Copies of this chain bind each other. A is one copy, B any other.
Amino acid sequence: MGITSHDVARLAGVSQPTVSRALRDDPRVSQATREKVRRAAQALNYVPSEAGRTLSTRSTRRVGVIVTDLTNPFYPHVIAPLHDELRALGYRMMLITERSDEAVAEERLLDQSLDGVVLATATTDSRLPAQLERRGMPFVFLNRDTGGPGDYASVVDNEGGGRLVARRLVDLGHRRIAGIFGAANTTTGRDRELGFRLALAEAGVGLAEDRVVRGAFEYETGYRALPVLLGAAEAPTAVFCGNDVVAIGVLNAALAAGIRVPEDLTVIGFDDLPMAAWEVFRLTTVGHDLRELSRQAARLLVRRIGGEVDSAGERLVLPTEFVPRATHARVS
């Protein structure tokens, strides 16, 4: 069924190795033979077998991307540019969406079918990075990392972003402030909360524990958290959400509960997804360059695969900016 380099060799009247060399532009093959081989390959519609090449070169030109939940609107916006950048660098992307089963993920990662891995949904307590390290599989963190010093990671200045929001809320006169943060075992959850808390503390504003919720970076988290926060003795006047998806959950819950945004409640997100700009939300949020985040991760991984990388780890941090829209207001 498949055309092999032997078939091409036969047609071109040369040996199989010469076909391989000719098509790979090896300088040791003459111009005449090169073109003869090219024509034969063309005529047969020859495409080199990936498995043969892989076995011979021990490199697959394939990279795995691990994501837990693709239906979370955040990930497509990181996967799409990642795919494109990897492609430009000569690699293919293998999407792996595992919800939990680390053992399975591990096995699939270690069968030599990938040159490297992008971890997009790492948690600080995950054992996977150590496993990969031990087996010598190059990998980088994208968006989230473990916070360790030896990480190779492309991340956002989460702490700085949290600070931005805290200062803005204080400036707007908010004092009864709430937070719906991401899971504590993610650096995105942890560091955004950290920066937010630190900047609040610097301004002398407290964050009452009954105004703090933590949960997965999902719509449901925000949707369910708002009623809880509103049920407290004194309702908050502002809520900082771990990311845009959570904030959008809050906005929907507010609509359901008859809470006016921003008159009754200021809502702030994080990430500035395209969706945040939709007319129905006009979400005030913290922005950063998602495309560049992904591109950096791709380039870092490829450099690590090539071995051209600082052995002490390398963390690329993108800046954040406050993106004011229509869900924040001065406290009345």
Q: Are A112 and B80 in contact (CB under 8 A)?
A: no
Q: Which of A80, A108, A112, A136 has the most CB of B within 10 A?
A: A112
Tell which of B48, B58, B107, B248 touches A111, judged by Cβ atoms closer than 8 Å.
B48
- Whole-angstrom distance between the alpha carbons of A328 and B107 in the complex? 51
- Whole-angstrom distance between the alpha carbons of A84 and B191 in the complex? 32
Q: Are A49 and B253 in contact (CB under 8 A)?
A: no
- Which A residues are within 8 Å of any B CB, using their own CB? 1-2, 45, 47-52, 54-55, 58, 60, 69-71, 73, 75-77, 79-80, 83-84, 92-97, 107-108, 110-113, 135-136, 219, 248, 251-253, 255-256, 274, 278-281
Q: How far is the CB of A284 from chain B (nearest CB, A)?
A: 16
Q: Are B255 and A113 in contact (CB under 8 A)?
A: no
Residues on B with C-beta less than 8 A from A278 are 219, 248, 252
- State the copy count for this chain: 2
Residues on B with C-beta less than 8 A from A96 are 92
- Whole-angstrom distance between the alpha carbons of A79 and B1 in the complex? 30
Q: Are B51 and A2 in contact (CB under 8 A)?
A: no
Residues on B with C-beta less than 8 A from A280 are 251-252, 255, 280-281
Q: Are B110 and A83 in contact (CB under 8 A)?
A: no
Q: Are A77 and B71 in contact (CB under 8 A)?
A: yes
Residues on B with C-beta less than 8 A from A70 are 76, 79-80, 83
Residues on B with C-beta less than 8 A from A110 are 45, 47
Residues on B with C-beta less than 8 A from A1 are 136
Q: Are A92 and B92 in contact (CB under 8 A)?
A: no
Q: How far is the CB of A13 from chain B (nearest CB, A)?
A: 24
Residues on B with C-beta less than 8 A from A55 are 49, 51-52, 55
